[in-house]
């Protein structure tokens, strides 16, 4: 049994993290070491992608690139070690430049008031950036940039040997680059590239289509050997390659690639097969990982060679079933590659291990990518692009299925309503779409074009395509009456996706439009309202529900799988589970930084999760977690300090530490593993909570009888007494102290009388007893260390029982108080996530604004200080047992009052106190700001809601505009079909670009960037001299 711990440690991403995600910059936290043996190596290279404490900064800027007319205003972000730009419309132009690819930065001598930097990249591109903020801000930015650049000298040295791994380098080094060489060379400050180009001048530029093995040392996929899917001629590979080549020359390539509008167009007609792998890794950012960790993949393989696990077994089963229609996967070469990548990843991320559908995804990647490339892209997919999709609980998949359902409800309400009415679940069909990135759902050549878009534009594409599929099939979907019909309809649609969308149209050009083209147009034109923000928002909204469901399921499974529930009913076991789970989670929180460390393999160093020989993962708790677990249910296992000052009264709970608790832990550890599973805890609790008087006494006796010989030694008697005192430590008055003292006295008295005679055998065994006869009179002096060593059997159970029963207080304690001190009355936190989500809502958000976890302690201290100053500060410990409150006067007024209440009533009071205290906390600190923030957050929420509903309305209008479903959308609207249609007869590059036009339209007009004066300034800068 393993518990879905990570769901609670989930935190919404910060703005900075989102920015990094947007620019495909790897998350540094993801680089936890893989295995203990590998730590040093990985840490050494770690610095390469580390910001190293360097500061990032955002600034407004205007971008122009030499050789391009367009000038774009946007936001320039320094995210060390990357420099990123995004145009204002977040669509036309963007780049992610690793700083180590920038050879030179100069400030340009230009008109007054214009602060402009000229960047020369490795590939000889010159980028002009006008920083349009105030001068000091711009200067600050350039200082930060300079510092960040300085830190990149080491990786810069790695760049040159790394570049030949790109096909684009091989492609550019052809003869037709001749005329560019001079121009570029003159721009280059160093001449390496120039030399390199010269060397390759005689070489053949490789514009060949797929299928034949190319030369060069670039990383390549199986397609180079076994042929790429699809007909190269039909896919216009040669034309596409030529266009890309031209694009690379102006806009940079691989690590220095800048996305200008033509990029989007080239992308959406499908990447050429030979460039696909490289562009995938560049667009997704996985290339940065490959660059930074050149040895990791090999090391993972060699370190785990010959190891097998549950994951490797599962991988083995699926190897033969991964795109078996592709030739390479009918051969050992292909299967071996597939195996290596999947196995390496399963060891890198043992918690995820292997999930079916990954075999298909990776099989797809390997057609276009080398093993190492595919491995890193897989990492980025699992980690960032499709987070939680393939994890054991698959929470990401479940979440996105729910998000998809909700988007269908918004955009295609007729379909969703119909499905609801006939009880058909969308996910029966859509689950494989998302999990296999459509690779398993439609013919490969089309599926990979969707993968192109997903890797370039993010996960929203999966949703857009999904919605478009439903919309196009809308009419038929309304006829569906059961899951089966739905699945079959989808299957039929995908199998005909390469067919003409309008087979009977008189115009041959219209006939040439395929279902797939129509699908993309609908997806990107009609569903462009679905943005990254939409997805993030929906995920945030629905995550709580999914997390709760998964946790409830895990709980049910865990409770059901217990071998024994003892004398507890299922519900109570559920409560025990809640406490157990809460303890594990809170412990995580206390340990801190779990999210980072926990990720890859590290959790197996921690005792809380155990992996057995079969690679099975089990959640167990260690002593530390056990303490906090016990503190949750046993009153005496926690210190409850009630503090009251002039402002608030609060109860601080702290986990107590005592040998008794450790003793309990080890006695419950039935397998001697040093950790407890839920089963151990249930059995352990059963023994103490369901016990009667005699059973309890025996249990307590055994707990202290270390060697289980049926006798306590004198030491153990003392320890037992200490345990009792520990339990009684907070009881008011001294009756408990008196009772324990009496107990010790009696125990010694009776013990001496009943202790087993020291036989000859013991004398032989332990000469230390020499000379002592164990006479009762001696012992009564209680200075009996000489009389009888402390480590000999002394007090047996019967005597112990007698001694206990001699005291009414102790008898009552063992009869009822002990078991009653374990309180399982609370369903620890039903719907934890929803509750969390709610507190982030209206009032909760307000509460959080004022009192957060971090400032709570400080706030408490502050009020304490005030209270002390006013002489109103009072602190007392809350007693553990209820009985004492009835028998003894409590030291404080409140304690006295409480003592008259039943535990349940006390609980209520506590809760009330807790809630009132937090309320009073807020009101005391910021009675004024409360109101304003309240108003503000409400207004915000409202406006956001209005915005959203407006968006929804627009989407609905756009989508449901026509009463009939727009199956004929292309046939009867706009003019793009003419351009698309032409595709059929031309064979030139224009034809390729024609297809693009449809998308262009889908995306709205091309942004040509800035106009007029601003553009002129920017263009002037291209000729400006650097400041000396």
Partner 1 sequence: MASSDDSSLKAVQVKLVLLGEAAVGKSSLVLRFVQNDFNENTSPTIGAAFLTQKCRLENRVVKFEIWDTAGQERVRLDRYPDPFHSLAPMYYRNAQAAVVVYDITKASSLEKAKAWVKELQRQASPNIVIALVGNKLDLVNDDAASSAVPAPPVDAADDEDEVKSTDGEDDEDTADEAGSSKPRPAAAASTSDSLRQVYTAEAEAYAKESNLLFYEASAKTGQNVGDLFTEIAKTIPIDTIAPKPVPAGRRSGAANAAQTDGNVNLGEGSQAKKGGCC
Residue ranges binding partner 1 (CB under 8 A): 1, 310, 314, 317-318, 320-324, 355-357, 359-360, 392-394, 398, 401, 425, 427-428, 431-432, 435-436, 440, 482-484, 487-488, 549-550, 553-554, 556-557, 560-561, 563, 614, 616
Nearer to partner 1, 21 or 314 (CB): 314
Question: What is the number of other CB atoms lying within 10 angstroms of the CB of residue 506?
Answer: 7
- Minimum CB separation of residue 432 from partner 1 in Å reads 4
- Minimum CB separation of residue 328 from partner 1 in Å reads 13
ω into 81 cis (within 30 of 0):
yes
258 bridge partner residues: 95
- Minimum CB separation of residue 317 from partner 1 in Å reads 4
**DSSP state letters, 693-757:** HHHHHHHHHHHH-TT-SSEE-HHHHHHHHHHHHHHHTT-SSSHHHHHHHHHHHHHHHHHHHHSPP
- Minimum CB separation of residue 321 from partner 1 in Å reads 5
- Minimum CB separation of residue 427 from partner 1 in Å reads 6
- Minimum CB separation of residue 663 from partner 1 in Å reads 29
- Minimum CB separation of residue 683 from partner 1 in Å reads 14
Nearer to partner 1, 193 or 394 (CB): 394
Structure tokens at 531: 């943005």
Whose structure tokens read 């390479």? Answer: 328
Nearer to partner 1, 620 or 650 (CB): 620
Q: Which of 618, 621, 643, 644 is nearest to 632 (CA)?
A: 621
Beta pairing class for 102-109 and 1025-1026? antiparallel
Nearer to partner 1, 359 or 582 (CB): 359
Q: Is the distance from CB of 1022 to CB of 126 less than 8 angstroms?
A: yes
Nearer to partner 1, 401 or 464 (CB): 401
Q: Cα–Cα distance between 85 and 258 in angstroms, integer?
A: 9
Residues contacting residue 1027 through CB under 8 Å, at least 6 positions apart: 106, 107, 108, 109
Is the alpha carbon torsion for 838, 843, 849, 854 positive or negative?
Answer: negative
Nearer to partner 1, 8 or 48 (CB): 8
Question: What is the number of other CB atoms lying within 10 angstroms of the CB of residue 687?
Answer: 19
Nearer to partner 1, 547 or 921 (CB): 547
Nearer to partner 1, 554 or 713 (CB): 554
Whose structure tokens read 């990985």? Answer: 42
Nearer to partner 1, 1 or 874 (CB): 1
Nearer to partner 1, 483 or 1020 (CB): 483
- Minimum CB separation of residue 751 from partner 1 in Å reads 43
Nearer to partner 1, 389 or 859 (CB): 389
Q: Is the distance from CB of 985 to CB of 47 less than 8 angstroms?
A: no
- Minimum CB separation of residue 563 from partner 1 in Å reads 5
Q: Which of 590, 580, 449 is nearest to 523 (CA)?
A: 449
Rg (Cα) of the chain, in Å, rounded? Answer: 36
- Minimum CB separation of residue 400 from partner 1 in Å reads 12
In degrees, rounded to 5, the angle at the alpha carbon of residue 84 between the alpha carbons of residues 123 and 91 is 100
H-only helix segments in 960-984? 969-972, 976-982
| Torsions phi, psi for 31 (to 5 deg) | -95, 50
Nearer to partner 1, 59 or 431 (CB): 431
Nearer to partner 1, 614 or 707 (CB): 614
Nearer to partner 1, 322 or 635 (CB): 322
For the chain, the distance separating the N- and C-terminal CA atoms, rounded to the nearest angstrom, is 68
- Minimum CB separation of residue 827 from partner 1 in Å reads 17
- Minimum CB separation of residue 562 from partner 1 in Å reads 9
Q: Is the distance from CB of 55 to CB of 114 less than 8 angstroms?
A: no
Nearer to partner 1, 321 or 912 (CB): 321
Residues contacting residue 506 through CB under 8 Å, at least 6 positions apart: none
- Minimum CB separation of residue 326 from partner 1 in Å reads 11
- Minimum CB separation of residue 881 from partner 1 in Å reads 38
Nearer to partner 1, 487 or 849 (CB): 487
Q: Which of 9, 17, 78 is nearest to 536 (CA)?
A: 17
Nearer to partner 1, 566 or 879 (CB): 566
**DSSP state letters, 305-370:** TT---HHHHHHHHHHTTSSTTSGGGGSHHHHHHHHHHHHHHHHHSTTT---TTHHHHHHHHHHHS-
- Minimum CB separation of residue 484 from partner 1 in Å reads 4
3-state secondary structure of 448: helix
| Torsions phi, psi for 985 (to 5 deg) | -100, -30
Structure tokens at 180: 């560019």
- Minimum CB separation of residue 323 from partner 1 in Å reads 8
Beta-carbon-side half-sphere exposure of residue 289 (alpha carbons within 13 Å): 28
Nearer to partner 1, 314 or 983 (CB): 314
- Minimum CB separation of residue 430 from partner 1 in Å reads 9
Q: Cα–Cα distance between 379 and 346 in angstroms, integer?
A: 10
Q: Is the distance from CB of 535 to CB of 461 less than 8 angstroms?
A: no
- Minimum CB separation of residue 320 from partner 1 in Å reads 5
**For the chain, counts of helices (H) and of strands (E):** 51, 16
Beta-carbon-side half-sphere exposure of residue 832 (alpha carbons within 13 Å): 21
Residues contacting residue 344 through CB under 8 Å, at least 6 positions apart: 297, 300, 301, 304, 375
Is the alpha carbon torsion for 332, 337, 342, 346 positive or negative?
Answer: positive
Q: How far is CA 791 from the centre of its chain?
A: 53
């Amino acid at each position: 049994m393993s518990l879905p711990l990570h769901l609670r440690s989930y935190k919404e991403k910060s703005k900075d993290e989102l920015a990094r995600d947007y620019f495909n910059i790897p998350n540094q936290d993801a680089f936890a070491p893989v295995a203990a043996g590998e730590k040093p190596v990985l840490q050494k290279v770690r610095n390469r992608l580390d910001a190293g404490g360097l500061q990032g900064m955002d600034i407004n800027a205007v971008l122009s690139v030499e050789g391009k007319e367009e000038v774009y205003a946007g936001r320039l972000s320094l995210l060390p070690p990357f420099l990123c730009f995004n145009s204002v419309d977040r669509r036309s132009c963007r780049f992610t430049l690793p700083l180590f690819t920038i050879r030179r930065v100069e400030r340009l001598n230009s008109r007054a008031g214009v602060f402009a930097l000229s960047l020369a990249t490795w590939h000889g591109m010159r980028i002009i950036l006008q920083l349009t903020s105030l001068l000091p801000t711009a200067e600050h930015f350039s200082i930060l940039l300079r510092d960040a650049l300085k830190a990149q000298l080491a990786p810069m040295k790695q760049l040159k040997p790394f570049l030949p791994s790109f096909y684009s380098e091989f492609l550019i080094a052809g003869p037709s680059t001749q005329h560019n060489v001079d121009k570029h060379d003159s721009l280059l400050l160093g001449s390496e590239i120039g030399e390199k180009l010269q060397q390759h001048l005689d070489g053949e530029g490789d514009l060949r289509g797929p299928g034949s093995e190319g030369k060069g040392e670039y990383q390549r996929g199986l397609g180079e050997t076994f042929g790429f899917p699809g007909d190269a001629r039909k896919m216009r590979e040669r034309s596409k390659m030529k266009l890309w080549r031209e694009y690379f020359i102006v806009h940079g390539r691989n690590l220095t690639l800048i996305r200008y509008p033509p990029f989007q167009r080239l992308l959406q007609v499908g990447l050429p097969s030979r460039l696909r792998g490289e562009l995938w890794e560049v667009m997704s950012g996985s290339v940065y990982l490959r660059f930074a960790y050149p040895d990791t993949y090999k090391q993972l393989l060699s370190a785990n060679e010959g190891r097998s696990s549950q994951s490797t077994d599962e991988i083995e089963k699926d190897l033969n079933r991964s795109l078996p229609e592709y030739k390479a996967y009918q051969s050992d070469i292909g299967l071996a590659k597939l195996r290596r990548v999947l196995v390496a990843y399963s060891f890198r991320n043992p918690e995820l291990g292997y999930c079916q559908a990954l075999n298909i995804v990776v099989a797809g990647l390997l057609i276009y990518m080398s093993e190492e490339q595919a491995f890193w892209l897989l990492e980025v997919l699992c980690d960032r692009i499709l987070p939680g999709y393939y994890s054991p609980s698959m929470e990401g998949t479940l979440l996105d299925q729910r998000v998809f359902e909700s988007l269908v409800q918004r955009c295609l309400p007729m379909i969703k309503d119909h499905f609801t009415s006939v009880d058909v679940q969308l996910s029966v069909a859509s689950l494989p779409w998302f999990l296999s990135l459509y690779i398993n759902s439609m013919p490969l050549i089309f599926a990979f074009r969707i993968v192109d878009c997903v890797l370039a534009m993010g996960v929203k594409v999966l949703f857009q395509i999904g919605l478009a599929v439903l919309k196009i099939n809308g009419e038929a979907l309304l006829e569906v009456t059961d899951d089966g019909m739905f699945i079959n309809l989808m299957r039929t649609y995908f199998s005909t996706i390469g067919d003409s969308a309008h087979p009977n149209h008189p115009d041959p050009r219209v006939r040439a439009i395929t279902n797939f083209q129509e699908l993309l147009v609908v997806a990107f034109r009609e569903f462009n309202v679905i943005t990254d923000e939409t997805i993030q928002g929906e995920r945030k909204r629905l995550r709580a529900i999914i997390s709760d469901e998964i946790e409830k399921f895990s709980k049910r499974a865990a409770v059901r799988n217990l071998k024994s529930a003892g004398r507890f009913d299922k519900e109570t076991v559920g409560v025990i589970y809640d406490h157990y789970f809460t303890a594990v989670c809170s412990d995580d929180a206390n340990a801190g930084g779990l999210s980072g460390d926990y990720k890859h393999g590290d959790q197996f160093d921690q005792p809380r999760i155990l992996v057995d020989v079969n690679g099975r993962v089990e959640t167990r708790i260690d002593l530390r977690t056990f303490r906090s677990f016990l503190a949750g249910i046993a009153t005496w296992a926690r210190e409850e300090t009630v503090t009251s000052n002039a402002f608030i009264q609060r109860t601080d709970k702290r986990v107590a530490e005592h040998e008794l608790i450790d003793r309990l832990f080890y006695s419950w550890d039935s397998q001697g593993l040093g950790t407890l599973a839920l089963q151990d805890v249930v059995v352990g609790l059963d023994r103490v909570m369901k016990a009667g008087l005699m059973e309890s006494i025996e249990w307590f006796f055994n707990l202290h009888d270390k060697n289980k010989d049926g006798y306590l030694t004198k030491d153990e008697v003392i320890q037992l007494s200490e345990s009792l005192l520990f339990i009684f430590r907070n009881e008011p008055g001294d009756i408990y102290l008196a009772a324990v003292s009496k107990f010790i006295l009696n125990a010694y008295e009776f013990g001496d009388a009943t202790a087993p005679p020291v036989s000859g055998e013991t004398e032989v065994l332990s000469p230390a007893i020499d000379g002592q006869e164990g006479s009762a009179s001696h012992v009564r002096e209680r200075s009996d260390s000489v009389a009888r060593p402390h480590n000999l059997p002394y007090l047996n159970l019967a005597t112990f029982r007698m001694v206990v029963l001699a005291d009414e207080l102790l008898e009552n304690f063992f009869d009822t108080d002990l078991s009653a001190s374990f309180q399982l009355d609370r369903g620890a936190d039903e719907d934890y996530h929803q509750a969390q989500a709610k507190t982030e809502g209206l009032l909760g958000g307000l509460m959080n604004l004022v009192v957060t976890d971090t400032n709570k302690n400080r706030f408490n201290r502050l009020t304490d200080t005030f209270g002390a100053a006013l002489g109103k500060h009072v602190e007392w410990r809350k007693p553990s047992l209820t009985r004492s409150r009835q028998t003894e006067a409590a030291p404080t007024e409140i304690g006295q009052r409480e003592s008259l209440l039943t535990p349940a009533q006390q609980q209520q009071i506590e809760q009330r106190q807790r809630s009132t205290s937090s309320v009073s906390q807020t009101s005391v600190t910021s009675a004024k700001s409360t109101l304003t923030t309240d108003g503000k957050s409400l207004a915000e929420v409202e406006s956001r809601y209005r915005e959203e509903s407006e968006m929804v309305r627009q989407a609905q209008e756009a989508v449901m505009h026509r009463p009939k479903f727009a199956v004929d959308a292309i046939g009867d609207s706009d003019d793009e079909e003419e351009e698309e249609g032409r595709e059929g007869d031309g064979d030139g590059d224009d034809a390729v670009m024609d297809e693009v036009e449809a998308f262009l339209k889908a995306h709205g007009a091309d942004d040509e960037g800035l106009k007029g004066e601003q553009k002129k300034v920017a263009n002037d800068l291209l000729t400006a001299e650097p400041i000396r």
